[in-house]
Structure 1
Amino acid sequence: MSQHHHARRCAATVATVSALAVILAGCSTPSSPADEQASPPGVTETTVTIGTHTPLTGPAAAGYSSISAAAKAYFDYLNDKGGINGRTIEYIVKDDGYNPATTQSVVRELVQEDGVFAILNGLGTPTHTAVIDYLNENEVPDLFVASGSTTWNEPEKYPYTFGFNADYVVEGAALAQYASDEHPGSTVCVLGQDDGFGDEIIEGAEIAVGADGLTDVQRYAVSNQDVTAQIGAMQAAGCQINILATLPGFTALAIGTAAKLGWSPMWFTSSVGADYSTLLQFFGDDAGPSLLQGMVGSNYLPMGDTEWVALFAQVNEDYNAGAPFDGNTVYGMSVAYLFAEALAAAGENPTRASLMQAVTSGELEGNGILPLAFGEDSHAAYLGAGITVVDQGVQDYVGETYALEGDKVVAVEPQPGALTGDGIPSS
């Protein structure tokens, strides 16, 4: 279970697949252990096929549409090096527009028509919530969800699902604790998405500053591209530090709206919407650097002058058609590396069962700033987050890393994963 108390949203009801669809799906239907040993879905002598749902269009596309392209670039790099145990990784990416109904359709296509071995890094809390029951009922490995919802860390209820992000309660607690440590006495407020994302950032912030420690809380909906009322209310409340549980477009919208109002509070942003290079695309090179100067963020993956960043930058140049290199690129390639590590650990003839055993073994290392927390009783990847600051156009860690121990925020020492073997995991 999650390491702390939280309120969980109920998953959307999934319609039962018709008998005709099962027949058409053929070998993509759930198999017995004996059948899977002989022919696991998505695995041939030369390939392993996996898939994802992600917003290539719609309100979350800005920034996020580059994640799956970065993951594919890493897989192309890996495949050119011989793949994993002689198999190349085929990655099917389907656009869901950040719409849960569309997510249900494309995930069924991936499982029933494309016969994928696993779903990797499905993106979004509301979208992935719509398919989590379906994937678990059909015993499809649901790996490294691109969301910090604590729902992904419920191994008894969802044994096939594993998160990737540091969860939102952790991020909210880390940001609020940093605000309290570095700016004691400042008024702290939250602008959050009106779903589990916002709920859990608020929950984490209240762990750090107390239930009455937030001066004002505002919510927004992704369907409404206007946050003037929310920003105006926060300004009127005297907010000095604003913690944002926002997608990248809404991070930019909040900061830009405040600037139009002549208001310059401090911005503390969840990793979901904190990438400097992505935000700069909204503001441009003229206004962006001054608007984003001093922005505080949370993160748990490599950044700055590290071997991992250097490797991923080279992979991006060689395999990603000259796409901009930013934090979302690092995210996508980090996920792809972790899947490759799990696949290598699953053995020369991987099955869904052996893949699950590899993830829960406690032996995966990843490349984050803290050790992975995966195990039989934990389906969370990272239980802590570091603090980043933008200074003169450079975004990097400032040294503070926080984790939750029960309902207490504690400072911990980073333990970054080492780069070995040119980023090619071995079995």
Structure 2
Amino acid sequence: MTRNRISRRSVLIGAAASSALPSLVFAQSKGEIKLGQTMPYSGPASAYGTIGKVQQAYFKMVNDNGGINGRMVNLLSVDDGYSPPKAVEQVRKLVEQDEVLALFQTLGTPSNSAIHKYVNAKKVPHLFVATGATKWNDPKGFPWTFGFNLSYQTEGEIYARYILKEKPNAKIAILYQNDDYGKDVLAGVKRVLTGDKAKMIVAEQTYEVTDPTVDSQILSLKASGADTFINITTPKFAAQSIRKVADVGWKPLQFINNVGASVGSVLTPAGLDKSVGLITVQYYKDANDPQWKDDPAMLQWRGFMGKYYRDGNPADASNIYGVLAAELMVQVLKQCGNDISRENIKKQAESIKNFKSGLLLPGIAMNTSPSDHAPVDQAQLSKFDGKQWQLFGSVLGGQG
């Protein structure tokens, strides 16, 4: 824990738990809104742990400024090690013992898949999960779950359409994580590359989150003769693969998915010189991009980081992402007014209209409805020049 993380003891102070209360008017003191989340503070995806830390820091700032409608926000953020069984254990504890009002930004496709049915059966708001799997947007089947990230399938579609336009004779190699997350981005690519175009994909390799490296997969993909590489990996493996591609002298046109594109946690350890030419998608601003140097929202974000999360790396895109998600959570809670029942939280999460955080790229807004639980559905392509990502083209969306 950093000094900015709220202690578990302080989180629990003031909780007025009562089993006699109806399930939808949950055990919250008049001065408290208690949220829960699981984060991979340890394990193969620990680079994402900063998301939970920056969000705790953000809610501390909110509380220092009077809270939300006079209530303090307490976020219980616990480690699941990116392990689905651990996530189940921790979420059950958050719901049944800590009695959180809602879950917020539980991270990872495997972890959220493991708790998906449970939280919906319990009718616990499962808000703005930190994963872009398409299945989080299923209001009929899972009405209490809401996505946040740009849909992985939409991201895959954007890459495939760009390749068709700019390199129609490409020979494509794909590396992806062997779970719903990796398969979802792949599905978006294949949604575009159909019929004869499917032959453009000449090689596919998978990896498990427990694998020590992806070196052998990179060697196999290079041997396929591919001249284009779509890299669907989380930070640890993204950095490994970018480095390995350069070290073995392979020079494909490279795409790196958004969740593995942080300058601070991926490209810097991989080698900035080895990352030149990478293409990704972005939907929020990059602190490394000089065009945002004097941007009011980014100046405010830097001020927040300097005061509330000094241990955080400003070059790590996850620290902007985490604040962006927290801003949306605050918007939902503000809309709740004095009714902080689970039912009303769900209703307000379905009522986001044209929410334009200053951290979003220009032209992108967040929207939800009872039939659409995915607030982000647009992004812009960006290329790495050795120092920062350079946006190009127009704002794009998916077809699926």
Q: Counterparts of 1:53-64 in structure 2 under 5 Å?
A: 53-62=38-47, 64=48
Q: Give the counterpart of 1:175 among 146, 159, 180.
A: 159
Q: Is the 8 A contact 1:277 1:327 kept in 2?
A: yes
Q: Give the counterpart of 1:331 among 317, 321, 336.
A: 321
Give the SS at the match of 1:162.
coil
The whole-number CA distance in structure 1 between the counterparts of 2:393 and 2:331 is 28
User: What per-residue deviation string (whole Å, max 9, x for no partner) do you get for residues 119-149 of structure 1?
Assistant: 0000011111111111111111000000111
Q: How has the CA–CA distance of structure 1 residues 405 and 173 changed in structure 2, closer, same or farther, with 3 Å as cutoff?
A: closer
Q: Counterparts of 1:188-337 in structure 2 under 5 Å?
A: 188-210=172-194, 211-283=198-270, 288-303=271-286, 304=289, 305=292, 306-325=295-314, 326-337=316-327
Q: Is the 8 A contact 2:215 2:244 kept in 1?
A: yes
Q: Counterparts of 1:77-96 in structure 2 under 5 Å?
A: 77-96=61-80
Give the SS at the match of 1:163.
coil
CA-atom RMSD, angstroms?
1.9
Q: Is the 8 A contact 2:382 2:392 kept in 1?
A: yes
The whole-number CA distance in structure 2 between the counterparts of 1:156 and 1:373 is 18
Matched, 1:371 2:365: yes
Q: Is the 8 A contact 1:276 1:292 kept in 2?
A: no
The whole-number CA distance in structure 1 between the counterparts of 2:130 and 2:52 is 11
The whole-number CA distance in structure 2 between the counterparts of 1:83 and 1:323 is 23
Q: Give the structure 2 partner of residue 107 of structure 1.
A: 91
Q: Give the structure 2 partner of residue 144 of structure 1.
A: 128
The whole-number CA distance in structure 2 between the counterparts of 1:107 and 1:276 is 31
Amino acid at match of 2:389: Q
Q: Is the 8 A contact 1:338 1:366 kept in 2?
A: no
- Listed as ranges, the gaps of 5+ residues in structure 2 are 1-15
TM-score, with length taken from structure 1: 0.82
Q: Give the structure 1 partner of residue 22 of structure 2.
A: 31
Give the SS at the match of 1:105.
helix
The whole-number CA distance in structure 1 between the counterparts of 2:156 and 2:399 is 14
The whole-number CA distance in structure 1 between the counterparts of 2:279 and 2:123 is 40
**Aligned-residue offset at 1:322:** 3.4
Q: Is the 8 A contact 1:170 1:385 kept in 2?
A: no
The whole-number CA distance in structure 2 between the counterparts of 1:29 and 1:131 is 25
The whole-number CA distance in structure 2 between the counterparts of 1:53 and 1:135 is 13
**Aligned-residue offset at 1:32:** 4.8
Matched, 1:349 2:339: yes
Percent identical pairs in the alignment equals 30
The whole-number CA distance in structure 1 between the counterparts of 2:20 and 2:354 is 29
Q: How has the CA–CA distance of structure 1 residues 244 and 29 changed in structure 2, closer, same or farther, with 3 Å as cutoff?
A: farther
Q: Give the structure 1 partner of residue 10 of structure 2.
A: none
User: What per-residue deviation string (whole Å, max 9, x for no partner) do you get for residues 310-336 of structure 1?
Assistant: 222221111012321121000110111
The whole-number CA distance in structure 2 between the counterparts of 1:362 and 1:120 is 16
User: What per-residue deviation string (whole Å, max 9, x for no partner) do you get for residues 80-119 of structure 1?
Assistant: 1111111121111100000001001111111111111110
Matched, 1:187 2:145: no
Q: Give the structure 2 partner of residue 397 of structure 1.
A: 391
The whole-number CA distance in structure 2 between the counterparts of 1:257 and 1:133 is 39
Matched, 1:52 2:37: yes
After alignment, is 305-314 or 194-203 more displaced? 305-314
Q: How has the CA–CA distance of structure 1 residues 396 and 75 changed in structure 2, closer, same or farther, with 3 Å as cutoff?
A: farther
